[in-house]
Amino acid sequence: MEHQPELQKGLEQENPLGTENIRSLLKKLAFPAITAQVVNVLYNVVDRIYIGHIPETGALALTGVGVCMPIIMLISAFAALVSMGAAPRASVLMGRGEKEEAEKTLGNSFVMLLAIAVILTVFFRLFARDFLMAFGASENTIGYAMEYMNLYCLGTIFVQLALGLNAFITAQGFAKISMLTVMIGAALNIVLDPVFIYLLGMGVQGAALATILSQAVSALWVIRFLLGKNTILKLRAKNFGLRANVVFPSLLLGMSPFIMQATESAISLCFNSSLYRYGGDTAVGAMSILTSIMQFSMLPLMGLAQGAQPITGYNFGAKKPGRVRETFRLLLKCSLAYSLSLWAVCMIFPRLIPMLFTKNEGLLDYTAWALRYYFAGAGIFGIQIACQQTFIAIGNAKTSLFLAVYRKIILLIPLIYLLPAFLEQKDRAVFLAEPAADIIAVCTTAAMFFFQFRRVMAKLEKEENAPKMA
């Protein structure tokens, strides 16, 4: 009984989500989400920090690895395509008591992840150079990019299994086990990076090897758990036969997070190609650092939102509009306080965080002013996250997806190309596209949320009071 999952405990006493202090609930639910996300991103951030400090070639090597990020994000997006749809579906099936169907979903997902890994490995081994050149690599940096990517591709199977199957551990309620999966891999990566990069003199290839070995250990950890006695859902060979009624509903549910992550690759392509045109390798290197900072700094916001979602969703389903409003207000206050704090640090100490990535004075000077431009709209981004994620929690995923596509595709990508046509300093204009898109998107999101949320809450209050009126 000591291994009884948190989800099962939660099912036995659902009332706390509807009765417990919301501030306490948010702390309890947000912490594991923030921790897991932060640790997971450490893989690539730590790689870049170590690579940026390679003597003499660090700046160019960092730029080369930076242009690999769109491909890395795309590989992760395919893991999300399977796991972010199939794992929640398995949870629903478990809740209905349909354990066998849930295990079929797990088995089918395992096979899908393997198939996707093989296809991606072959594809990027053949076409990685073409993609990297399109993503902003130059003749000076393509060698470093290919050294990293050729090795990283070989570990695609471990990335797919570690990320994809870990979602099924979370879905069963084993939050600590799920968190350990990413912590073990990240800790091993931190230890192996300096050994391979510096001690063995492998440079960029050493960083890639450390990453795939760490992901391999995480993948083995996940598989061992799903084959063990403490899991509720087990990997069984009899469930490996793909079934259309399992595969297609799972992929359909996973399409939204897949699109959200995959579009990051398109944005990186646009940023890097434009910056290389106007600022060369230094501008692309700065963007690599800024992307790392942005990825890492946004994780607490996403963790807060993930912690608030079950509270909002439960009380929305229980027709308790007062608690739904209270949860949103708390999420908004926490998110806005964090984003304003982040903005202040970036504006006051623009060299502080970039110094972790490089000692090259030229790259540092360039990145410092670019950071102020790029993060100029970050102070209000907490509003965007709080509203967008609350839309999902109350069952309005379509609006949330539209807002994400609106900001990234409709606003950001065109602005990357339009602003340089109107401003004299072309590279600075490219960096300004980010805050311009943020400000417009936040205003749009806040307006849509204000009207839609009020309407939904009014309807909920009528439903809440209906029995009394009767």
pLDDT in tens, 173-230: 676 787 788 788 888 988 898 899 888 888 888 888 998 999 999 999 999 999 988 8
* Higher-pLDDT residue of 114, 254: 114
Nearest to 261 by CA among 450, 76, 130: 76
Arithmetic mean of pLDDT, 54-65: 79
> What is the four-CA torsion angle of 162, 285, 275, 70, rounded to 10 degrees?
-10
Q: Would the pLDDT of 1 be above 80?
A: no
Q: Would the pLDDT of 80 be above 90?
A: no
Q: Would the pLDDT of 10 be above 60?
A: no
Which residue stretches of 135-174 are H helix?
142-154, 156-171
DSSP code of 318?
T
How many other CB atoms are there within 10 angstroms of residue 401's CB atom?
18
Q: Would the pLDDT of 7 be above 50?
A: no
Return d(Cα 2, Cα 302) in angstroms, integer: 30
Instruction: Check residue 9 and give its pLDDT.
Output: 45
Average pLDDT of the chain, as a whole number: 83
Instruction: Check residue 449 and give its pLDDT.
Output: 92
Arithmetic mean of pLDDT, 140-156: 89
Share of the chain above pLDDT 90, in %: 29
* Higher-pLDDT residue of 94, 280: 280
Instruction: Check residue 4 and give its pLDDT.
Output: 46
Instruction: Check residue 202 and give its pLDDT.
Output: 87
Arithmetic mean of pLDDT, 79-83: 86
Specify the amino acid at residue 26: L
How many other CB atoms are there within 10 angstroms of residue 468's CB atom?
6
Output b/e per residue, 72-101; b: 16+ Cβ within 10 A.
bbbbbbbbbbbbbbbbbbbbebbeeeeeeb
- DSSP for 41-78 reads HHHHHHHHHHHHTSTTTHHHHHHHHHTTHHHHHHHHHH
Instruction: Check residue 456 and give its pLDDT.
Output: 86
Nearest to 436 by CA among 375, 385, 382: 375
Which pLDDT band holds residue 139 (cuts at 50, 70, 90)? Answer: confident
Q: Would the pLDDT of 448 be above 90?
A: yes
Do 325 and 461 form a contact (C-beta atoms < 8 A)?
no
Q: Which two tokens stand for residue 182?
A: 């990413």
Confirm whether pTM is higher than 0.75.
no
Share of the chain above pLDDT 70, in %: 89
Q: Would the pLDDT of 8 be above 60?
A: no
Q: Would the pLDDT of 171 be above 70?
A: no
Q: Would the pLDDT of 338 be above 90?
A: yes
Arithmetic mean of pLDDT, 44-49: 74
Q: Would the pLDDT of 247 be above 70?
A: yes
Which pLDDT band holds residue 12 (cuts at 50, 70, 90)? Answer: very low
Q: Would the pLDDT of 329 be above 80?
A: yes
CA distances from 182 to 70, 168, 241 (A): 21, 14, 29
Arithmetic mean of pLDDT, 297-322: 77
Instruction: Check residue 470 and give its pLDDT.
Output: 43
> What is the four-CA torsion angle of 410, 415, 416, 417, rounded to 10 degrees?
100
Return d(Cα 7, Cα 15) in angstroms, integer: 13
Return d(Cα 141, Cα 281) in angstroms, integer: 8
Which pLDDT band holds residue 458 (cuts at 50, 70, 90)? Answer: confident
Sequence-distant (≥ 6) Cβ neighbours of residue 272 within 8 angstroms: 66, 67, 70, 135, 136, 284, 287
Summarised one tens digit per residue, pLDDT across range 381-430 is 999 989 987 877 676 767 877 887 888 889 999 999 999 999 989 999 99
